A and B are shown apart, each in its own frame.
Chain A
Amino acid sequence: MAEFRFIHCSDLHIDSPFKGLTSQAPALARALRESTFNAFQNIARLALQEKVDAVLIAGDVFDGADRSLQAQLKFRRILKELSDQEIQSFIVHGNHDPLDSWAHTLEWPEHVTIFPGNKVQHVPVKKDGKNIAWIYGISYPEKEVSENLALKFRKEKEEGFSIGLLHANVGQHPGHDNYAPCSINDLVSRNFDYWALGHIHEHKVLRESEPAIVYSGNTQARHLNETGQKGCCLVTLATNSPPNIRFMTTDVVSYRSATLDLQNAETINDVIRSIQNQCEELAKETIPREGLVVRLNLTGRTIIHKELQAAGTLNALMEEIHGFFEGHSPWIIVELHAETAGTYDINTLKEGKDFIADLVNLCDETEKEELNKKIDESLKPVFESWAGRKYLEELSAEGLESLIQKSRNLALDQLVDNS
């Protein structure tokens, strides 16, 4: 059998909006939004550069909820470029871009295969007139697919390599919706050479060979919880040798979280300088293609804690930082979280015999069911009965704990007269 070389990618989420506070830098919001598309462009560039035989896309090309015609037109343009160079593209739809969410009349370029949603279809990859591989695939007809789609795959052709293209949650991966759930064994039992999977945003090789089972991960991170490099897999299948799977980065924007200890900061200017330095440091470490989104948690006991807590201070700081980095390459967006504390010493306060000691001790107790309940109760008007509650996240146990700490600091800021 000949060699089959292809790119496996998934979860492009082209044009999905950045999930974070971008009102700070509207111009960069656009850059952020375009990052997913630019990442896909990088894949196409890689495909042309490496002269691959095919590009496999394992679902979630778009964000269903945010689907736009423009995104589809952009996507088609790239596919056309590949098609013009005789590179075949294979696409299955995932939970974010089920078949019912696409524009039907959009005409796809010649060498593009979009798999149907009703059954597994197989399409050959031709090279020098020979079928070097068969791509099997099935799309999500609608968003929620609870069926084990893996079981629908059946090897139909013996010639060439068999590759399964599937958007699924293999092994009930936490943190992702459990769509088209299946197990590794389900996949192994299909007797394929390679499973190109999508859905999980982290690059994972579940099995090295016979068959190789791979999540390529998404091509571009979209929020601060998706840190680390993002990209696609450049795969070479050859007879009698294990698959060669190389992870290639494609992302143009990197996301980093860091803490910044402001213990020694005495003025807001010190804070600004520290943030600038930290950002530059991070940019040097990360070397993103276009831009860097940084979440900075400001920590430490500092005498300017109260100032930082004041309404509008963080926004002003962010504005200042963005102004500073304007025109910087890579561009930098900073999201600041103030987790600083006043210069008072909690332990000393705890030892006191006064009201403040009572308050501090109240928060630090391990058993505080009653307090938790009371706080929970007090938050209900917003988190349970308010019309906008659906946009809010439910308060987890950790969330509550952190809230209590935050509130404690807030109360201490008011109660402890540092002057």
Chain B
Amino acid sequence: MQLREIHIDGFGIFCNKRVTGLKPGLNIIYGKNEFGKTTLLEFIRRILFGFPTKKEKSNLYQPVNGGSMGGSLKVELKNGEGLVISRTPGTHGGDVRISTPQEVLRGQDVLNHVLGNASKDIYRNIYAFTLDELHDFNSLSGDEVKNRIYGAGLGLGNLSLKNIEKDLENMCTQIFRPRGACQLSDLLEKIKVNEQAIQSIQKNLTLYDELQGQHKKLIETKTAVQNSLQDLESEKRILESQIHLYEDAVLYMEAKDKLESMDDYSSFPKNALNSFKSLAQGKESLEERLEEEKESLNSLKSALESLKINHELLKNEESINRLQQSTQSIHSALQDAAKVQIEREDLDMEISSEIKSIDRNWDEDTLLEFDLTEAEKDQIDQFFEEFESLRKEQDLFLDRLESHRRIKAEEASKGWNIPHWLKQFHYGFTGAGIAGVILGGYLGNYPLLGAAVVIVGGGIFLFKKIIEEKNSFSREDMAEKNLAHQYEKKKQELDQKFDEWRKWLKQRKLDPGIAPITTKNIGKTARQIKSMISQRGRLDERIEQMRETLKEAENRISSLTSLVETVSPDNEILANIETLCQAFAESKVNNERRELLEIQQKERDEKISRLEAQLKTNAKEIENFVHSVGATDIETFHVKQAGFESYQDLKKTVEQKKGNIHSNVGLGQHFDQFLDDIRSTPLEEIKQNLGKKLTNYSDLQETREQLLQDIGETRNELEKLAANNDLVERQNELESQKQELKSLAETWASYRSALVLIEEAKKRYEKTRQPGVIRAAENLFSEITSGAYDHIIKPIDSDDILIENDRHKRKGVQEMSRGTLEQLYLAMRFGLIEEYESRSEPLPAVLDDVFVNFDDERDQKLIEVLNQFGKQRQVIVLTCHQRSLEAYKGIGANQITV
């Protein structure tokens, strides 16, 4: 990129300033101090890379002569394309526009691309700088620039060898450092711990041997102790059984001695006492039963004696039965006789009064003769009906006559009440009609004629009606005559009928004055009285019957009176009958009982004699038994029995004790030995012996327990050792750790030797190659210094720069004169520009009076170098020296007037 024009709107002292005519190659701008050269330089830098912010504390170059801040650069790219780059203040370095003939682009990114991604630092430090900046050592130390210088030849791009070395060194230190914690020492520590653990586990091997021996010994001791314990145990048992059985043994021996001194009871039956007892018991029960039987016989006898029987009475069983059967009828006869008599008399009186009620003249015979047949009854009814109907008819006519007379009287009292004008109305009416006819006929008016005819008809009809009414009054008197006649006729008929009735009554000797209904009632009453008479007859029969019954009973009683004391004719019949019956029944029952008792008495007698025989047999048996067991009598039997019993007891004691001792001690020899020991040793002494043994025993037992425990522990220990897997685990771990250690050490070694390699390679590099920048700078520098210094050396691992003269003498920065140093830096910058532009868009180089400290010779040389340098690029030199201007003009530089 090359500048063609500079347009400043406002920047520092400049306002609306145009710098034109900039050409490729060397351009020179001359201006005195305060002219604004540095301002121009700064303007170009800021248009390309942005305005600083207020924070950056650099000169902001605010426009002092008016105009708005900013401006533009008209440039031409390497490919010939023309652009205008303009910038106004704003954020992020200001608002930048890149205008091509076709379009306007914006933003620093776009511009950066145009600038070949050159950075602000690069441009400031190597392309456009002031004298101060040239001289400033640090301006060459910017990271970017430094990398350019040093990295260009290394072929490492942006990598920092220093950092790589630092990283490697770090990795080495992490793994190993002679002192302090590191991975290797940590691991070593772990290995040592493990080794120690393994060693101590391996010692167990001898421990195992020792324990095995110990275990064996303990087992032997335990066996010996076990044997002694067994011996003691049996001795202890003997003593314990001696104590335990001591009493039994003593009892056994005593009993045995006694038994030997006793009679022989071996033949004595074991159950003798029982047998005797059962016999004696049999006797007792027999005697008891005999007594009982005798007692009951006696009571039977007395019962028989006390029985009372009336034998005579028993013979009259039939009479007694009859009496008993008739008791009911006698009883009713006695009770009813008087009542029936009274009933009969009442009936008799009623009969005679009933007869008299019919007719005073009637007696029983008349009554018995009188009777009404069915035909006569019908006749009476017929009479009655005829009387009734005749009387009703007569009454009917009488009523009708009377009512006719009453109505007639009422009519007569009312009179004719038609008004007088009405009586004459029909005449008027007819007259009017006739007048109408006439008028109508006269007039010839037919409707009037018609109506007049109708009115005449009406008048005639009314006249006729009044005539009719006068006739009905004259007929009324005929009805009254007729009615009175009929009434008289009926009255005669009734009287005739009455005569017939009286005649009928006379024929039957009845009072002719009685009515038909009464007659009918007399018939009824006569029948009732007839039934009363027959009832009286029945009552008479009954009274007779009663009398006969009583008579018969009295006869019978009197025939029996002598047989029973309590019966007397003075007593009531019923009481006597009852007494007789009772006496008879009693005798009968007693008689039956007597027969029963007699049978029982006979049975008892037989039983008693049987028992007595049994008793005798029993006595004989007892006697025989007593003899059979060698006793003379019962008493001696009892003595013998007592002896037998104590013999049995002793024998039992002996057997029991012997058995007990046997089961504890054993038979034969042991048994005898045991008895001998008991005989010879007192109980106290045995007890003392046992006490001693027990103490020994428990001591030994304790020893054995201890031994068992020891054995168990030893065995556990042995098993633990045998089962211990720690060793295996540890060994595995150790092996693993050792491998890890080796591998870590190898890693460390590879890092470490990588560092050695880099170090060695660096030496070789410095020796044989230098970066292209230095090499380019070296040529320029040599030219400027007229070959006084032909080598620039940049040690690879330091920022120092050395120059070497033809005698290989090297000089450091501190040793150089100001001018030489400036020349060196200028040469370095040109070297950098050459190196940079080999890959990038060239940028205009702007040098602001950087040659002031150059001597004439070197100034001249520099101008030549610049001339050469400017052939490939645009160089703008700003100077305030007329001399310089002339010199540059001399070599054909393009002068620009501002």
Contacts and interface: CB of A to CB of B under 8 A. Distances in A.
Nearest to B176: A382
B101 interface: no
Contacts of B157: 417
Contact of A417 (B159, B161, B754): B159
Contacts of A354: 153-156, 765, 769
Contacts of A67: 202, 205
A388 B178 CA distance: 11
A415 B749 contact: no
A70 B764 CA distance: 61
Contacts of A184: none
B749 A382 contact: yes
B761 A379 contact: no
Interface string A362-388: 110000000100110011011101111
Interface string B725-744: 10110011011101111110
A362 B757 contact: yes
A284 interface: no
Nearest to A335: B739
B628 interface: no
Nearest to B211: A105
Interface stretch (A85-93, A137-145, A238-246, A399-407): A399-407
A382 B755 contact: no
B750 interface: yes
Nearest to A337: B743
A105 B213 contact: yes
Interface string B429-452: 000000000000000000000000
A64 to B, nearest CB: 10
Contacts of B731: 16-17, 33, 66, 68
Interface string B189-219: 0010000000001101100110011000000
Contacts of A15: 728
Given A388-B184, A391-B191, A406-B750, A29 B176 contact: no
Residue among B159, B205, B769 with max Cβ neighbours from chain A (10 Å): B205
B545 interface: no
Interface string B159-177: 1010010011000000010
Contacts of A407: 750-754, 756-757
A19 B739 contact: yes
A118 interface: no
A293 B740 CA distance: 17
A135 B156 CA distance: 73
B721 interface: yes
Nearest to A414: B164
A355 B161 contact: yes
A407 B191 CA distance: 28
A359 B209 contact: no
A371 B157 CA distance: 27
A354 B768 CA distance: 10
Nearest to B174: A311
Nearest to B721: A69
Given A381-B178, A391-B741, A417-B159, A17 B754 contact: no
Contact of A374 (B159, B722, B743, B760): B760
B179 to A, nearest CB: 11
B735 A383 contact: no
A135 B201 CA distance: 35
A408 B153 CA distance: 20
Interface string A163-194: 00000000000000000000000000000000
A339 to B, nearest CB: 12
A323 interface: no
Given A371-B760, A378-B752, A411-B757, A20 B739 contact: yes
A404 B753 contact: yes
Contacts of A404: 753, 757
A386 B176 contact: yes
B158 interface: yes
A51 interface: no
A359 B213 contact: no
B156 A378 contact: no
A130 interface: no
B176 A358 contact: no
A123 interface: no
A383 B745 contact: yes
A101 B755 CA distance: 47
B757 A30 contact: no
A228 interface: no
Contact of B156 (A20, A21, A356, A371): A356
B191 A415 contact: no
Nearest to A102: B205
Contacts of A357: 155
How many interface residues does chain A have, given as a range? 35 or more
Nearest to A400: B753
Contacts of A359: 757-758, 760-761
A258 B394 CA distance: 176
Contacts of B743: 21
Interface residues of B, number: 66
Contact of B158 (A105, A375, A417): A417
A331 interface: no
A392 interface: yes
B252 interface: no
A410 interface: yes
Contact of A22 (B161, B728, B736): B736
A23 interface: yes
Interface in B787-820: 796
Contacts of A103: 205, 208-209
Nearest to B739: A21
A403 B749 contact: yes
A30 B730 CA distance: 11
Interface string A94-112: 0000000101110000000
A101 B206 CA distance: 9
Nearest to A373: B756
B732 A411 contact: no
Contacts of A356: 154-156
Interface in A331-360: 352-359
A121 B483 CA distance: 200
A395 B191 CA distance: 22
A35 B796 CA distance: 57
Given A355-B762, A403-B750, A29 B741 contact: no
B54 to A, nearest CB: 38
A73 interface: yes
Contact of A70 (B727, B732, B753, B755): B727
Interface string B700-741: 000000000000000000000111110110011011101111
B741 A392 contact: yes
A415 B209 contact: no
A395 B760 CA distance: 21
Contact of B209 (A73, A105, A371, A388): A105
B343 to A, nearest CB: 141
Nearest to B737: A23
Interface string A72-91: 01000000000000000000
A393 interface: yes
B724 A70 contact: yes
Given A69-B727, A411-B754, 16 more contacts: A18-B735, A33-B728, A33-B731, A105-B212, A353-B155, A354-B154, A355-B153, A355-B761, A355-B765, A355-B769, A374-B756, A379-B752, A391-B742, A393-B742, A410-B754, A411-B758
Interface of A: 15-23, 26, 29-30, 33, 66-70, 73, 101, 103-105, 352-359, 362-363, 371, 374-375, 378-379, 381-383, 385-388, 391-393, 395, 403-404, 406-408, 410-411, 414-415, 417
Interface of B: 153-159, 161, 164, 167-168, 176, 178, 184-185, 187-188, 191, 201-202, 204-205, 208-209, 212-213, 721-725, 727-728, 731-732, 734-736, 738-743, 745-746, 748-762, 764-765, 768-769, 796
12 contacts: A15-B728, A21-B739, A22-B732, A30-B728, A68-B727, A70-B727, A358-B764, A379-B749, A391-B738, A391-B741, A408-B754, A414-B164
